[in-house]
Amino acid sequence: MKTSRGVRAITTIAATMLPLALLSACGSDEADGTTTLTVASYGGPYQEAQAQAFFEPYMKANPDVKIVQDGPSDNAKLRAMVEAGKPQWDVVLLANDFGNESQGEWLEEIDYDVVDKDALLDGYADKYRAGADVEGTVLAYREDKLATAPSSWADFFDTKAFPGKRAVNKFAAGGILEAALLADGVPQADLYPLDVDRALKKIDTIKDSIVWWDTAAQSQQLLESGEVSMGLVWVGRAADAGKSSPVKIDWNTWLSQDAYWMVPKGSPNAEEAMKLIAFMVTKDPQVEFSQLIDYGPVNREAAEDESVRANPNRPSNHLDTQVPMDDEWWAENLEGVMEKFNAWVLA
């Protein structure tokens, strides 16, 4: 199973990340009593921010713990490790379509006697995963190319009132199906199970105006260059584009697209892994992370911090308009929907 965030991980991973073959210390205690934790994430500036906000402070506060970074994280790789009985990762960050209860056979249950469940925002504390940050797929637009700002899902599909090309992730679970159904009048409460045929029929109305993107960098470039007037893109890329070009975000229309911390089943350092997760979701590290990258904290107190609230493009400031994606539905239906979606794209 490939996820939208899995695609992101592959395309943004920094060249300096350590390969698995070099992690011989993973999962074992050093002779000097040091515990080595291997943490796998997405790489690039995102993982650099995690290192600064989470990993380095944790090691400073716990000198008997050494954190080794790896990446990119990947659903299939995690499952293969667990099934081989040799999990080389102790903590792994994955997208919202993994870590659901139907995938619990590959994961340890989060120990909420260690991790403070009540400190997390609603919906970010699950049986097998704990939220890492609040992200999202947003409707971003070039204000210099539109007479009026879009303010609804329907506007994205209205090429007469809102002319120009649309940037869309060429991935079924990237949000375009949900956006199409909402634009077509489906109430949010009735969104799932997705009516895929109805969604594709709606997307057909703008198919000639779509510019497909495969990587986050492409989506940002399409907005910055002005090749598209609107796009469904990840919030971090939309915010970055807005720093150098007249790109704005419509916060009336956005979908959840989050990341979660998980512990592979059979990790020899599961107890210490839970302690690290507990630290990473506390207020101060969450606030620090939010200052380094354009995502929102999952910690309740951090989400209300003045420095976090001051940023209008922080997803956690707009939870009242968030459309949550049904992760369980996608986990069960992704393969079949991808086949139908890909066939439609090529038609």
The pLDDT value recorded for residue 195 is 98
Enumerate residue ranges in the chain where pLDDT < 50: 1-28
pLDDT, tens digit, 9 for 90 and up, residues 156-197: 999 999 999 999 999 999 999 999 999 999 999 999 999 999
- Determine the distance from the C-alpha atom of residue 299 to the mean position of all C-alpha atoms in its chain, rounded to a whole number: 16
Full-model pTM: 0.84
CA distance 97 to 260: 10
CA distance 280 to 231: 32
The pLDDT value recorded for residue 6 is 39
The pLDDT value recorded for residue 31 is 61
Burial class (CB in 10 A: 0-12, 13-18, 19+), 14: middle
CA distances from 288 to 54, 55, 86 (A): 9, 12, 34
Helix (H, G, I), strand (E, B) or coil at 155: helix
Place of tokens 């994280």: 73
The pLDDT value recorded for residue 30 is 56
